[in-house]
Amino acid sequence: MPKVLVAPSILAADFSQLAEEVRRVEKAGADWIHCDIMDGHFVDNISFGPAIVDLVRKHTELPLDVHLMIEHADHYVPRFAEAGASSITVHVEPEAKHDVAKTLQQIRESGCRVGLTLNPETAYELLEPFLDKIDMLLVMTVHPGFGGQSFRAEQMEKVKRAAEWNESREHKIDIEVDGGINAETARVSIQNGANVLVAGTAIFHAKDYAEAIRELRGISA
């Protein structure tokens, strides 16, 4: 069993004290910091851009896991790499308006880890041609755009398929889940083969971040 990594999504943090929030989750045991980038086109919300990623970079030693929910990701990859992203994950859907293979290569050449993701409505088959070109598959367990939504258990089918694919490979990909992750849905995700948990609400709306992170890992306080 690989170690389960926890990546708090700062979308749910208190932006009036973002630097402090990032330091607090680092101290609480977070493994990565998840940055949700939304452009108001690919998803129906707007979050933040490279300037905020750059600010976060200055306040933590942790890897920054940048999730681009944007059109034309290829245009912005260099700016997020420059801002300090450690991994960059892009969407496979045609609505994201980019050449997926080229963008994955571009992320690789930027020195970041390469991630690919798909919406709950999107068929797993769409990303299969890219599996040997990525370091991480992100399975969205809510429709992207907003924090605080309910986990979609039927997406575990995709997690299982990715885990099966991993079994036959020497170079394993990380399997990350994002959306509606709490202690209970984390357990389900891990059981199905996920090893990276993104959580916004479950961490930043908790009183004790360290306890929330331990609960996600399945360690009771």
Residues that bind ligand DX5 (CB under 6 A): 9, 11-12, 34, 36, 67, 142, 144-149, 178-181, 198-202
Query: At its nearest, how many Å lie between ligand DX5 and the CB of residue 89?
Result: 10
**91 contributes a contact to Zn ion by CB under 5 A:** no
Helix (H, G, I), strand (E, B) or coil at 58: coil
Least spacing, CB of residue 129 vs ligand DX5, in Å? 23
18-25 LR contacts (CB < 8 Å, sep 24+) = 18/52, 18/55, 18/56, 19/55, 19/56, 19/58, 19/59, 21/204, 22/56, 22/59, 22/60, 23/59, 23/60, 24/209, 25/203, 25/204, 25/209, 25/213
| 67 is an interface residue for Zn ion by CB under 5 A | yes
Options 65, 135, 176, 178; binder of Zn ion; rule CB under 5 A: 178
Q: Does 65 bind Zn ion (CB under 5 A)?
A: no
Known catalytic residues are 36, 178
Residue 87 binding target from Zn ion, ligand DX5, none, CB below 5 to 8 Å by type: none
> Which run of H or E residues covers position 114?
strand 113-118
CB-wise, 84 or 145, nearer to ligand DX5?
Answer: 145
